[in-house]
Amino acid sequence: MKVPATTKNRTERAQEVIARCRALAKFSEDANSLRRTFLSESMHDCHAAIAGWLKPLGISATIDSAGNLRGFYPGADSAAPRLLIGSHLDTVPNAGFYDGMLGVVLAIALLEELDGKRLPFGIEVVGFSEEEGVRFGVPFIGSRALVGRIDEELLGHQDRNGITVRGAIQKFGLDDKRINEAALGDDVLSYVEFHIEQGPVLEKLERQLGVVEAIVGQTRLVLRFCGKANHSGTTPMDTRHDALAGAAEWMVAVEARAKVIPGLVATVGFIEAKPGATNVIPGEVRLTLDTRHRFDETRSVAIREFTGFAEEIAEKRGLFLQRNTLLEQNAIVLNSFLADQIEEAVRKSGCEPHRMTSGAGHDAMILAERIPSAMVFLRSPGGVSHDPAESVLLEDVACAIDCGVHLLKQLAQTREFLGRICRA
Phi-psi region of 37 (alpha: psi -120 to 50; beta: other; left: phi over 0): beta
Q: What is the pLDDT of residue 6?
A: 39
**Is residue 12 predicted with pLDDT exceeding 70?**
yes
304-313 burial, b for 16+ CB within 10 Å, e for fewer?
Answer: eebbebbeeb
Do residues 130 and 142 touch, judged by C-beta distance below 8 A?
A: yes
Confidence class of residue 4 from pLDDT cuts 50, 70 and 90?
very low
Cβ neighbour number for residue 406 with a 10 Å cutoff? 20
373 vs 369: CA distance, rounded Å: 9
172 vs 162: CA distance, rounded Å: 16
Q: What is the pLDDT of residue 1?
A: 40
Confidence class of residue 311 from pLDDT cuts 50, 70 and 90?
very high
CATH class of segment(s) 7-216+331-423: alpha beta
Burial of 19 (0-12, 13-18, 19+ CB in 10 A): exposed
What lies within 8 Å, CB to CB, of 261 at 6+ separation is 293, 298, 302
Q: What is the pLDDT of residue 54?
A: 98
Condensed to tens digits (0 to 9), the pLDDT of residues 66-101 reads 999 999 999 998 889 999 999 999 999 999 999 999
Q: What is the pLDDT of residue 423?
A: 43
Residue type, position 54, single letter: L
Domain 7-216+331-423 shares a fold with domain 218-329: no
Look over the chain and give the mean of its residue pLDDT values, rounded to a whole number.
94
In DSSP terms, which residues pair with 329 in a beta bridge?
Answer: 218
Q: What is the pLDDT of residue 9?
A: 87
Percent of the chain, pLDDT > 70?
Answer: 96
Peptide bond into 275 cis (omega under 30): yes
DSSP 303: H
In DSSP terms, which residues pair with 267 in a beta bridge?
Answer: 290
Do residues 273 and 224 touch, judged by C-beta distance below 8 A?
A: no
Q: What is the pLDDT of residue 415?
A: 67
Give the sign of the dihedral formed by CA 247, CA 384, CA 342, CA 66: positive
Confidence class of residue 398 from pLDDT cuts 50, 70 and 90?
very high
Q: What is the domain partition of the chain in residue ranges? A: 7-216+331-423, 218-329
418 vs 63: CA distance, rounded Å: 27
Confidence class of residue 366 from pLDDT cuts 50, 70 and 90?
very high
| For residues 200-205, average pLDDT | 97
Do residues 181 and 65 touch, judged by C-beta distance below 8 A?
A: yes
Instruction: Provide the pairing of β-strand 280-281 with 230-231.
Output: antiparallel
CATH class of segment(s) 218-329: alpha beta
Instruction: Provide the pairing of β-strand 284-293 with 217-226.
Output: antiparallel
**Is residue 420 predicted with pLDDT exceeding 80?**
no
Give this prediction's pTM: 0.85
Question: Quick one: angle between helices 336-348 and 394-413, nearest 10?
Answer: 120
Task: Using alpha carbons, list the distances in angstroms from residue 348 to 14, 342, 415.
Answer: 18, 10, 20
- Number of residues that make up the chain: 424
| For residues 95-117, average pLDDT | 97
Max Cα distance, the chain (Å): 79
110 vs 404: CA distance, rounded Å: 7
HSE of 161 in the Cβ direction (CA atoms, 13 Å)? 6
Condensed to tens digits (0 to 9), the pLDDT of residues 36-63 reads 999 999 999 999 999 999 999 999 999 9
Q: What is the pLDDT of residue 73?
A: 97
Q: What is the pLDDT of residue 148?
A: 96
Q: What is the pLDDT of residue 2?
A: 41
Confidence class of residue 255 from pLDDT cuts 50, 70 and 90?
very high
Q: What is the pLDDT of residue 8?
A: 53
